[in-house]
Amino acid sequence: MGFANRILKINLSQATTNFVKKVKMTILSLLQKKMNAWALQNETGNSLRYAVSLRFLGNSFYSLSQFDSALFYWNKSLQVLGKQQRVESLDAANCLNYIGILFSDLGDFKAAEFYYKKAFYGIK
């Protein structure tokens, strides 16, 4: 009976984890759509708030191990910051640092070092 209860707990734990992950992905998907609609409606796709929102969206995807999506949104945030002449801002440094962390997690230490240095030296 003890073994069966442990298996049941493991299965429930995995089911709960999967359910929570699906809910988070659904929320992120809705957030993506809302952000895109907001940017189009307000024609503020170049605003600082939009760039920061993109960075936060990247952070959320990173926390769900959706690394391709995280990288996409961090790069998108950097593009928006570039249009605003903010490539040497703390906001850009944050994105670059997160990209460095991502590459470090993936074991690509050369790429990680490149982004860490870009984040550090880009904000002189």
When mean pLDDT is compared across 1-15, 26-40, 84-98, the lowest value belongs to 1-15
For residue 104, what pLDDT band results from cuts at 50, 70 and 90? very high
Taking phi first (over 0 means left), then psi (-120 to 50 degrees means alpha), and beta for anything else, what does residue 20 get?
A: alpha
Provide, rounded to the nearest whole percent, the portion of the chain with pLDDT above 70: 69
Predicted local distance difference test score (pLDDT) of residue 74: 95
- What's the distance, Cα to Cα, between the start and end of the chain in Å? 64
Residue range of the domain that includes 89: 2-121
State how many domains the chain has.
1
pLDDT in tens, 65-90: 889 989 999 999 999 888 888 877 88
- Decide if 73 contacts 58 (C-beta within 8 A): yes
The pLDDT score that the predictor gives to residue 53 is: 84
CATH number reported for the structural domain that contains residue 69 in this entry: 1.25.40.10
Whole-model pTM: value is 0.68
User: What is the spatial distance between Cα 65 and Cα 71, in angstroms, rounded to a whole number?
Assistant: 11
